[in-house]
Amino acid sequence: MSLKNTTEKALQMLRTLPRVTIGNIRDNPQSKQKQKRGRAQHGGDKHGAGNKGSGQRQNHLRLGYETGNTPFYLRFGYEPYYKGHHLKREYPPISLAQLQKLIDTDRIDTQTPIDLTTICNTGLFEIRPDRLHHGVQLTDEGADEFCAKINIEVQHAPEPVIAAIERNGGVIRTAYYDPHSLYAVVNAKKWFEKGVPIPRRMLPPQDAVEYYTDARNRGYLANPEQISYERLVLAQKYGYELPKIEEDPQYEMLTQTKDPRQIFLGLNPGWVISLRDRAIIKAKE
């Protein structure tokens, strides 16, 4: 190809190309590369340790130290109200409205007694013994709309909840579970797969004995005759006629209870449940 033809083609190409300006010129691809990692203010060359001082040297101050000032825990006086707050038992709430919805959606069977295991098996409530959960408390939200006749065992229940359940001919009981028993109750399948015996439920601690032996709270350690009297007193207080459990067709279900040392209904402490063999290994007497 001659030089003349080459020059003409070059000039023809320049006529078709746009005018060279600052806006349409750029470097060749990959002609410039960053020398630092593009992270934060210093581009990553400080390795996340800051610029100067103790942060750069990672000489972290001890917890609670305020660089010479009087620390917070010494600035204010001691409050006895918070003594032992990290040891207080907690009871996650379940309302009567939620319980009624579980019954209406057939997640809970009212033909059998309801306890903490039944509530956990619904998969909607989480009981964490490692977070000091000791069961559930039944709240009075939805007490006016609650219409189920049940035999239920919870860990804490106020007076309006007891009245709402007994007004419909039901039975309520408050019972204590120690932390070791709770691990078996909240996930019975996992406990049975371990192949260990069912633990025996311990008695409540000293500060909880008064609550679970009081018939007004329907404690599981209270005198049954005193509970019958308190049922009548509560019916007169709230102005409803107390149904007679003795004449109820479901009398056997309503009066079915667990032993104070028992955690599973129908299963005694010391038994081993084999899900693989579908067998119950009973302890020798």
pLDDT of residue 38: 65
Q: How far is CA 84 from CA 79, 80, 134, 201, in A?
A: 11, 9, 16, 24
Question: Is residue 4, in this structure, part of any structural domain at all?
Answer: no
pLDDT of residue 6: 86
pLDDT of residue 17: 81
Question: Is residue 146, in this structure, part of any structural domain at all?
Answer: yes
Question: Is residue 68, in this structure, part of any structural domain at all?
Answer: no
- Candidates 267, 251, 248, 271; CA nearest to 259 is 267
Domain that includes residue 211, residue range? 86-282
- pLDDT, mean of each 10-residue run, the chain (285 residues): 78 82 82 70 74 77 88 84 85 94 92 92 90 93 92 94 93 94 91 91 92 94 94 93 89 91 90 89 78
Question: Is residue 7, in this structure, part of any structural domain at all?
Answer: no
How far apart are alpha carbons 233 and 246 in whole angstroms?
18
Question: Is residue 41, in this structure, part of any structural domain at all?
Answer: no
Question: Is residue 49, in this structure, part of any structural domain at all?
Answer: no
The torsion defined by the Cα of 260, 263, 264 and 267, in degrees rounded to 10, comes to: -70
**150 phi and psi, to 5 degrees?**
-135, 165
How far apart are alpha carbons 198 and 194 in whole angstroms?
10
pLDDT of residue 284: 75
pLDDT of residue 165: 94
pLDDT of residue 1: 53
Q: What total of structural domains would you count in the chain? A: 1
pLDDT of residue 78: 78
pLDDT of residue 36: 63
What is the domain-level CATH number for residue 135? 3.100.10.10
pLDDT of residue 120: 92
pLDDT of residue 67: 85
Question: Is residue 53, in this structure, part of any structural domain at all?
Answer: no
Question: Is residue 161, in this structure, part of any structural domain at all?
Answer: yes
pLDDT of residue 79: 79
Radius of gyration (C-alpha) of the chain in whole angstroms: 35
- Candidates 138, 125, 109; CA nearest to 265 is 109
pLDDT of residue 180: 92
Q: For strands 279-281 and 272-274, give the pairing.
A: antiparallel
